[in-house]
Amino acid sequence: MKKQIEAKKYGMVIDLDKCTGCGACMAACMSENNVSFRKDESNKLDSITWMRVYKLTNGKEFPEADMCYLPRPCMHCEGEHGHAPCVSVCPATATDYNHETGIVSQIYTRCFGCRYCMAACPYHARYFNWWDPVWPEGMEESLSPNVSSRMRGVVEKCSFCFHRYQLAMNKAYNDGRRELEEQEYQTACTQACPAGAITFGDLNNPNHAVTKIAQPDSKHGGRPKNPNAFRLLERLKTNPKVYYLSSREWVRRAGDNYIENEGKKEIL
């Protein structure tokens, strides 16, 4: 009899104390996933960066100024029972919540580019191909066959390197296994980060680092029990799978919106 495989919930913990803002995660993601680039990428409103490093400031004057970098992949929101804000609204089911892995998928060949999902995503994690990708002469050689190229007019976003999951599962099947070891499936950004700031794994597995660090509370929508951990826009109940760590109060507070003087503890 086939053993019931427990559903995975792949997620991430990003330690903002360690993140140096170096940008390696951004470039590693681009290289891994055949992300296109244009001559002028300085308009960040039409620059495709599945992983994007934001710069937060504490708003204080010199010399009390402080800043913090925050890498933001797709949050792979679970919402309630898989109703991520973007998944519920796609009219062509080009994006879907996979209950076995917790990953929000994107089918480029089905998307017809209505951009409703982009309107829905509060994290601006979704990117539209306003142009056809053009590769400078010769650079097509470095494209990976594991990730489909996109055409203009469709939406793309971080997939938690789902192709690596597929390759790892293929390998496991060949070895006669159905379960993956923690290190067998890691995203490109996690792997590249020189500071070791990104941790990736199965939030349903109590032995995985992500679970031990974030301590998600399944009774309260997955919010972290670790007092230094927070999720972006926790109050919107998107139930994202990316947790952030910071020892600085102002950074944690910048993760969500508060009415003036509202304390975090009162709301959650």
Partner 1 sequence: MKVCRRSFLSLIIGGAAGTAFSPLPWKLIDDASIWTQNWPWTSVPEDGEVSHVNSVCTLCPGGCGITVRKVNNRAIKIEGMKGHPVNDGGICVLGVSGLQLLYGPTRVKTPLKRTGVRGEGKWKKISWDEAIAEVVKKLVSLRKEGKSHTVASISGSDRGTVAQLLGRFLTAYGSPNFIRTPSIQDSYELTAHLMQGGQDQVGFDAENSDFVLSFGSGLIEGWGSPVRMIKANSKWKERGKVVQIESRLSNTAAKADEWISINPGTEATLAFGIANVIIQESLYNTDFADNYSYGFEEFKQFVLSEFSPDDVAEITGVSSSTIESLAKNFAKASKPLAVCGRGKGETPGSLNEFIAVNALNALVGNINKKGGVWSVPDLDYIKWPEPEKDLVAENGMNKGRIDCAGSSKYPDTRYLLDRLPSAINSGEQYPIEALFVAGANPLYTMTDSKKVKEAFDKIPFVVSFSSYMDETAENADLILPNHVFLERYEDVPTPPGMQKPVISLSKPVVNPLFDTKHLGDVILLIAKSFGGKIADAFPWDNYEACLKETLGNDWDKLVDDGYLFHSNFRPAAWGNAFSNTPSKKFEFVNKGKAESVKIEGDEQSYPFILMPYDSMRLASGFIGDPPFAIKTVEDTVLKAKEIVVEINPRTARGFVEGGYAILSTPKGQAKVRVHYSDGVMPGIVAIPRGLGHTAYDDYLAGKGVNFNELIGLVEDPVSGLNAAWGIRAKLTRA
Partner 2 sequence: MDSALIPEGVKRCSFGKFAIWLVIVGAVLLWGVFAMLLCWFKGLNQTNMNDAYGFALWIWADLAVIALGGGAFFTGLLRYVFGKDELKNILNYAVLIGFICYSSALLILAIDVGQPLRAWFIFWHANVHSMLTEVAFCLSCYFAVLTIEYIPLILENRQIDRVPFFHNLSHNMHGIMVIFAATGAFLSFFHQGSLGGTPAVLFGRPFAYREGVLIWPWTFFLFTWSAAACGPCFTILITWITEKISGKKLVKQEVIRLLAKIAGWMLATYVVAKIIDTWYWAAVTAPSKGFGIMDFYADNPVYGIWILILEVGICGVIPAIILITKTGRKYSFLLILAVFLAVLGVCLNRWVMVLQVMAVPVLTFETWFMYFPSWQELATTILPVAYGIILIMISYRYLPIFPQERQMEEEKHVSIFV
Give CA separation, 3 vs 179, 204, 208, in Å.
11, 17, 21
Q: What is the nearest approach in angstroms of partner 1 to the Cβ of residue 133?
A: 8
Q: Which is nearer to partner 2, 107 or 167 (CB)?
A: 107
Residue type, 82: G
Q: Which residue has the tokens 């139930």?
A: 239
Interface with partner 2, residue 235, by CB under 8 A: yes
Residue 196 φ then ψ, to 5°: 65, 30
Query: How many helices and strands, by DSSP H and E, does the chain display?
Result: 8, 12
- Of 259, 261, 263, 265, the one binding partner 2 (CB under 8 A) is 259
Q: Which residues contact 76 (CB under 8 A, 6 or more apart)?
A: 10, 11, 84, 102, 103, 104, 160, 240, 241, 242
Site for partner 2 in 172-201 (CB under 8 A): none
Alpha-carbon torsion (2, 161, 96, 81), positive or negative: positive
Tokens 């971080």 locate to 158
Contact of residue 256 among partner 2, partner 1, none (CB under 5-8 Å per partner type)? partner 2
Chain positions contacting partner 1, by CB under 8 A: 15, 17-18, 20-24, 26-28, 30-32, 34, 37, 39-44, 47, 49, 53, 55, 57, 59-63, 65-69, 109, 132-145, 149-151, 153, 188, 191-197
Footprint of partner 2 on 43-82 (CB under 8 A): 43, 45-46, 54-57, 70, 79
**Per CB under 8 A, which region of 169-177, 193-201, 211-219, 227-235 contacts partner 2?**
227-235
Residue 71: other Cβ atoms inside 10 A? 24
d(CA 267, CA 228): 17
Within 92-151, the residues that bind partner 2 by CB under 8 A are: 92-94, 110-116, 118-124, 126-132, 151
Which position has the token pair 């009219």?
91
Q: Does 34 bind partner 2 (CB under 8 A)?
A: no
Q: Which one, 97 or 230, has the nearer CB to partner 1? A: 230
Q: How many residues are there in the chain?
A: 268
- Note the residues at the interface with partner 2 (CB under 8 A): 43, 45-46, 54-57, 70, 79, 83, 85, 87-94, 110-116, 118-124, 126-132, 151-155, 232-233, 235-238, 254-260, 262, 267
